Homo-oligomer: A and B are copies of this chain.
Amino acid sequence: MARSTAATRREEDPTEVDGDLEGFIGYNLKRAYVVVSTDFRRIMGKNGLAPRQFSALSLIVQFPNITQSELARKLGIERSGLVAIIDDLEGRGFVSRQPVPGDRRVQALSATTGGQAAYAEAHKMVMAHEAELLSDLSPQEVETLVGLLQRIRSKGD
């Protein structure tokens, strides 16, 4: 047996309480995310989009005229936290806030032509970055990983 995980400990020796941090999902998720986000920032460059800005832009491209409240909900963050992200994307000329006829409280978000082009380019870079980070995994393993992560995510609803 090469590795001891929380799962195998639970199966093989339920009374075992040692210091093996390596078996915990939370610890591994955090460490893996640090590796991925560090590489994301490296490949996107000094003034490139940060992960959160990329995610927001992606959803604005995918859902034109989405409102800020709806976008915050999809991203799983507070409305207040989204303001700076949209300010940044607007400052880059990638996104515009537009009034919505019939409800003057709402701002509809849409990607500009430049924002769409920037997203297409960023998307390619992120695909390349993930392909390299996941080069040791088979396409089947990548699909399995995404599925398992999404099942954990679904516990947060």
Contact = CB atoms under 8 A, between A and B. Distances in A.
Contacts of A84: none
Given A29-B29, A31-B76, A34-B156, A146 B7 contact: yes
A14 to B, nearest CB: 9
Given A3-B147, A120-B17, A139-B11, A130 B33 contact: no
Interface residues of A, number: 68
Contacts of A8: 139, 143
Mostly, the A contact residues are: helix
Nearest to A38: B156
Given A33-B26, A139-B7, A139-B11, A148 B145 contact: yes
Interface of A: 3, 5-8, 10-11, 17-40, 51, 55, 58-59, 61-63, 76, 119-120, 123-124, 126-127, 130-131, 133-134, 136-137, 139-153, 155-156
